[in-house]
Amino acid sequence: MATGEDVLRDLSSLSQTWRERMGDRPPIAHEFPTEHRDRWVRFHSLPESKRYASDAAERRTILERHYAVLGELFGGEDVFIMTSTWSTTPEPEPRDRLDLRINPGSVLWWSFLSEDDSNPDLVVHTHVYVAWTGWSAGSLNRLLSAVAEYRAGNVVIGDRRLRRLYLPYDGGADVLAVDSAERDVLRDRHSAWLSGHPSGR
């Protein structure tokens, strides 16, 4: 079991690596594709770009597609999982049962003020929690299902060196590969899961 010192060491290492690779930008998942288009690809979770599952078979398809790409990105590596909560004050509110269940063992890593272009008067603080875990197909079902059902957002899964990031959302996942060559391999392998839109979204 990780000690308090282990957790602090992990957080410090993550912060340093994040600054080296991402600069001062906070982890806002939907902004990553714009900033890293050279290594980005988006996969949709269901045929014909359907956004939400209607039955158990479609829910299985969503998980199968997630795990197929996760396996290719991370293999047997440990990964970090980031989840977020929001509040109108700088201090985070007590976490609800869902957030604790989808990211067990996670600790607060970063809090920052979020901007809402649609409502500039609204003050929202984002609080990012992180945990490190070994994983296998099936182990992230609660997390991925919550994202697919729009019950969780701003989720980031990545390796410790931040070379690859997986950003699931309700409807699919954005992937930041190591480089454009790796991205192209993934895109070609799962071409049936791509968007028909010229932008790839």
What are the sequence ranges of the domains in the chain? 25-193
Task: In whole angstroms, give the CA distance from residue 149 to residue 135.
Answer: 21
For the record, the structure tokens of 38 come out as: 């050279």
Write the CB contacts of 131 (distance below 8 Å, at least 6 apart in sequence). Answer: 80, 81, 103, 104, 105, 106, 107
**What confidence score (pLDDT) does residue 33 get?**
74
Is 88 in a helix, a strand, or coil?
coil
- The model carries a pTM of 0.92
- pLDDT tens digit string along 66-97? 999 999 999 888 999 999 999 999 999 999 99
Using alpha carbons, select from 128, 167, 194, 147 the residue that is nearest to residue 36.
Answer: 167
Question: From the first residue on, what is the mean pLDDT of each consecutive set of 10 residues in the chain (201 residues)?
Answer: 61 93 90 86 94 96 97 92 94 93 95 78 91 90 97 95 95 96 97 80 64
**What confidence score (pLDDT) does residue 120 get?**
73
Is 87 in a helix, a strand, or coil?
strand
